Chains A and B, each alone.
Chain A
Amino acid sequence: MHVRVHFYSYFKDLTGCAQSEETAAEASTLADFLRKLFQQFPKLAAMEKSMLVAVGVDYQPRDYVLKDGDEVSLFPPVQGG
């Protein structure tokens, strides 16, 4: 499956990019996918606990099962206002 990942705020500095094209095995959960992604972007791993994860424009839990073409966004706690 193809999954596009977007990084926001200082996560762009940690990864060195704003987005990345990734592949995921069929029936991968977000947790599976993040584990694999942290190998590619090790600096992100330290942010795992506070990291917010969205698929499309909705927050999703770590047991969400990815679908082909999903767009995953990873970002630190939000700070509007």
Chain B
Amino acid sequence: MKRKLTITKQPIDEAELLCAREMSEGMGAVIYFLGVVRGTEAPDKKISAIEYEAFQKMVEHQFNLLFDEMGKRWPIESVRLVHRVGVVKVNEPSLWVEVVAPHRGEAFAACQWLIDEMKRVVPIWKKPIAA
């Protein structure tokens, strides 16, 4: 399974990511997910941005363990994941994930699983910045 992980302070360039997509003729499903910073944190607390902090070396290691496991569970051809660190303003994407697989079932399942597991084990934290 091909994999590409990017942890970056730079804004996520969706157009560039889409242009860089590669897939073989046997692939029939591409799922991509964008996580965007909401303007509220708790029910009524307005925020202007979230500052993301990462334990970079462990982030890379834990994502690679998740990619290994994902490749064992589903016939995924490739996964690409971009996560922002630093300050990300409201309405800007903080996370971009793409999974390429032969069929939509495994692509949806793998993408959902990867994001759920990321939120459980990958050492990234949020600090809301008040509006």
Given the complex, which residues of B lie within 8 Å of A9, measured CB to CB? 53, 125, 127
The A interface is mostly helix, strand or loop, or mixed, namely loop
The reply on B103 being an interface residue by CB < 8 A is no
Binary flags per residue of B96-121, CB closer than 8 Å to A gives 1, else 0 = 00000000000000000001001111
Please determine whether B125 and A78 come into contact, CB atoms closer than 8 angstroms. yes
Please report the C-alpha to C-alpha distance between residue A52 and residue B94 in the assembled complex, in whole angstroms. Answer: 23
How many residues of B are in contact with the other chain, CB < 8 A? 24
Given the complex, which residues of A lie within 8 Å of B35, measured CB to CB? 81
Given the complex, which residues of A lie within 8 Å of B115, measured CB to CB? 81
The reply on A79 being an interface residue by CB < 8 A is yes
Q: Which residues of A contact B (CB under 8 A)?
A: 6, 8-10, 52, 54, 57-59, 73, 75-76, 78-81
